[in-house]
């Protein structure tokens, strides 16, 4: 799906962006490009659908003093993209209402911007810029609880600072980007096929979602038409990834209210699904299933196996929601209103649990699922809604998998050739509905066919700001439960 391109002067940007936002578009990503030593080009991708509509605003800046008018007052995600761009590229968002750093930590050397072509290797830690400017909440009985950035278990680092009275949370601030890995920089100069393995590791539990968004972007840039059978196979893999992750979260949410037995059952179901994944692709997390130009399946799920898994998940959900303690802890906890979800630009199950019918499978389909696809929407916006939306979507995914299995050929493999080495267009965009929400990837190719720029927008980048909003006026003991109900990716955010 080619994008409409509009070239603008910096001063023209706010009016064009406002018109697109007023027309119902959303800002999917912002990417800075260092085309030559004297110029920086910033691309703003706005999307809408159905029908699938994509508009790119291109703004050229003087690399010596790069600055753009802020869009933060028009779009909350725009303000975060701008702060990220300033920290990584040195582009100043003029008149930004919240100008403090987003990605940069105090030890980053002043004036070092890692995404610039002249950045060089990471230098030694620099002079600290001072502590992050957390908002201090004051008053009788107010105290702070710092959590992290180092946590128990295997999760990545993140710092949470609670301002509390008694057990009631007045304000929570999440500070991330402790492990900025330079993922987007690692793509530069690689052959598109060589970089596919990197996309599968952007966020380990979303191998299919990120690989598919990347492949769609490369295919858009190279003019590759993916055959119908491969599109069906990709849709099947995407749903397999959705269902095993949703089941894991269902169990974890039960565990966070003390029902470890249900969590054990969820892990039993999860193990069954991971073994099914291995049968289908040769990898428990479905790596290798999505390839440039097509898909690669070793086998197809059996209908009896899918039916047994569906029955298991339904039993798990019925037991959970039938338990008064579980239901009581879920109900009314950490409500995210529809208005807040809309204003923050939330995506995926977080948005759908708060009443927003956002789903890239409808808005930006790579394969038409027809009447089989139902976008589930609940309106209470609490932990219960985020639990139930996962249960409903897991059940729907199994229906889609069963149908797609019937439509696919009976042979053991579905594979199609990779795209040609030279691009027909310089850029491409891939959009897909990963299990956490919409993933958007934009790529640009050099004349020799190598990657010159890859920009990735994981749904967690949009959803992290919603967690503190939902936790306002809740109690500290509900933080682990609420955090799990969002289950946001550190890795997908901290690229």
pLDDT tens across 237-286, in order? 999 999 999 999 999 999 999 999 999 999 999 999 999 999 999 999 99
* Residue 361 located in a structural domain: yes
Residues 203 and 83 both lie in one domain: no
* Residue 126 located in a structural domain: no
Q: How many CB atoms lie within 10 A of CB 107?
A: 11
* Residue 465 located in a structural domain: no
Give the per-residue pLDDT at 51: 94
Mean pLDDT of the chain: 93
Q: How many domains does the chain have?
A: 2
Residues 232 and 370 both lie in one domain: yes
* Residue 176 located in a structural domain: no
Residues 78 and 220 both lie in one domain: no
Confidence of residue 179 (pLDDT cuts 50, 70, 90): confident
Domain final residue, candidates 79, 94, 109:
94
CATH number of the structural domain spanning residue 39:
3.30.460.80
Q: How many CB atoms lie within 10 A of CB 390?
A: 28
pLDDT of 416 over the 60 cut? no
Q: Would you give the DSSP letter of residue 3?
A: P
CATH number of the structural domain spanning residue 219:
1.10.645.10
Q: Measure CA 113 to chain center.
A: 24
Residues 402 and 274 both lie in one domain: yes
Q: Which helix (H) or strand (E) holds 104?
A: none
Percentage, residues of the chain above pLDDT 90: 81
Instruction: Give the largest Cα separation in the chain, rounded.
Output: 70
* Residue 297 located in a structural domain: yes
**For the chain, how are helix, strand and coil distributed in percent, rounded to 5?**
40, 20, 40
Average pLDDT over residues 33-50: 93
Q: CA quadruple 188, 217, 276, 397: dihedral positive or negative?
A: positive
Q: Would you give the DSSP letter of residue 412?
A: S
Bigger pLDDT: 213 or 131? 213
* Residue 405 located in a structural domain: yes
Residues 255 and 392 both lie in one domain: yes
Residues 245 and 362 both lie in one domain: yes
Average pLDDT over residues 416-426: 60
Domain final residue, candidates 75, 94, 113:
94
Confidence of residue 412 (pLDDT cuts 50, 70, 90): very low
Please tell me the distance from the alpha carbon of residue 364 to that of residue 431, in angstroms, as a whole number: 7
Least confident of 131-135, 247-251, 485-489: 131-135
Least confident of 89-98, 200-209, 349-358, 411-420: 411-420
253 phi, psi to nearest 5 deg: -65, -40
Q: Are 488 and 482 in contact (CB under 8 A)?
A: no
* Residue 148 located in a structural domain: no
For 344-398, what is each residue's pLDDT tens digit?
A: 999 999 999 999 999 999 999 999 998 899 999 999 999 999 999 999 999 999 9
Q: Are 461 and 199 in contact (CB under 8 A)?
A: no
Please tell me the distance from the alpha carbon of residue 34 to that of residue 91, in angstroms, as a whole number: 11
Q: Is the peptide bond before 382 cis (omega within 30 degrees of 0)?
A: no
Residues 429 and 289 both lie in one domain: yes
pTM: 0.95
* Residue 168 located in a structural domain: no
Nearest to residue 303, comparing CAs of 410, 401, 411? 401
Average pLDDT over residues 111-122: 88
Range of the domain at 49: 4-94
* Beta-carbon contacts of residue 69 (< 8 Å; ≥ 6 apart): 10, 11, 13, 14, 93, 94, 95
Please tell me the distance from the alpha carbon of residue 264 to that of residue 268, in angstroms, as a whole number: 6
Give the per-residue pLDDT at 88: 95
Domain final residue, candidates 38, 67, 94:
94
For the chain, the first-to-last Cα distance in angstroms comes to 26
* Beta-carbon contacts of residue 392 (< 8 Å; ≥ 6 apart): 376
Residues 211 and 83 both lie in one domain: no
For 204-249, what is each residue's pLDDT tens digit?
A: 999 999 999 999 999 999 999 999 999 999 999 999 999 999 999 9
Residues 68 and 189 both lie in one domain: no
For 422-480, what is each residue's pLDDT tens digit?
A: 556 689 999 999 999 999 999 999 999 999 999 999 999 999 999 999 999 899 999 99
* Beta-carbon contacts of residue 371 (< 8 Å; ≥ 6 apart): none
- Residue 277 buriedness (CB in 10 A; 0-12 / 13-18 / 19+): buried
In 167-255, at which residue ranges do the beta strands (DSSP E only) sit? 168-175
pLDDT of 115 over the 70 cut? yes
């Amino acid at each position: 799906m080619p994008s409409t391109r509009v070239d603008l002067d910096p001063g023209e940007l706010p009016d064009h962006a406002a018109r697109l936002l007023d027309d119902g578009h959303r800002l999917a990503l912002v990417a800075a490009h260092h085309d030559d030593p004297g110029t920086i080009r910033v691309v703003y991708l706005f999307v809408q659908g159905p029908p699938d509509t994509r508009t790119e605003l291109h703004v050229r800046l003087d690399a010596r003093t790069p600055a753009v008018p802020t869009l933060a007052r028009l779009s909350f995600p725009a303000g975060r993209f701008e702060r990220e761009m300033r920290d990584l590229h040195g582009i100043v968002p003029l008149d930004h209402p919240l100008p403090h750093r987003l990605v940069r930590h105090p030890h980053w050397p002043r004036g070092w911007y890692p995404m610039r072509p002249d950045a060089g290797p990471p230098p030694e830690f620099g002079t600290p810029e001072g502590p992050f400017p957390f908002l201090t909440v004051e008053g009788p009985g107010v105290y702070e609880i710092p959590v992290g950035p180092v946590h128990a278990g295997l999760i990545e680092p993140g710092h949470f600072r609670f301002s509390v009275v008694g057990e009631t949370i007045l304000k929570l601030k999440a500070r991330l980007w402790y492990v900025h890995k330079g993922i987007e920089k690692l793509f530069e100069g690689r052959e598109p096929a060589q970089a596919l393995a990197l996309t599968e590791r952007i966020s380990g539990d979303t191998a299919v979602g990120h690989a598919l968004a990347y492949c769609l972007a490369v295919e858009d840039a190279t003019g590759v038409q993916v055959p119908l059978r491969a599109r069906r196979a990709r849709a099947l893999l995407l749903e397999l990834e959705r269902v095993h992750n949703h089941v894991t979260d269902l169990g974890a949410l039960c565990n966070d209210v003390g029902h470890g037995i249900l969590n054990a059952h969820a892990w039993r179901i999860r193990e069954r699904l991971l073994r099914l994944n291995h049968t289908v692709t040769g990898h428990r997390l479905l790596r290798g299933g999505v390839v440039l130009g097509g898909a690669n399946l070793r086998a197809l799920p059996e209908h009896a196996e899918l039916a047994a898994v569906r029955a298991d998940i339904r039993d798990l959900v019925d037991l959970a929601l039938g338990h008064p303690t579980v239901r009581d802890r879920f109900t009314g906890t950490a409500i995210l209103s529809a208005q807040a979800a809309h204003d923050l630009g939330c995506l995926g199950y977080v948005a759908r649990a708060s009443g927003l019918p956002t789903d890239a499978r409808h808005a930006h389909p790579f394969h038409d699922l027809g009447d089989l696809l139902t976008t589930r929407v609940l309106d209470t916006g609490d932990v219960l809604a985020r639990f139930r939306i996962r249960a409903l979507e897991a059940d729907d995914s199994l229906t889609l998998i069963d149908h797609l299995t019937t439509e696919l050929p009976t042979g053991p493999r579905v594979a199609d050739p990779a795209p040609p080495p030279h691009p027909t267009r310089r850029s491409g965009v891939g959009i897909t509905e990963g299990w956490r929400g919409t993933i958007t990837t934009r790529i640009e190719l050099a004349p020799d066919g190598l990657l010159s720029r890859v920009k990735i927008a994981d749904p967690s980048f949009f959803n992290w700001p919603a967690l503190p909003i939902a936790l306002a006026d809740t109690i500290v003991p509900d933080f682990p439960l609420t955090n799990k109900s969002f289950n946001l990716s550190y890795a997908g955010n901290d690229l």
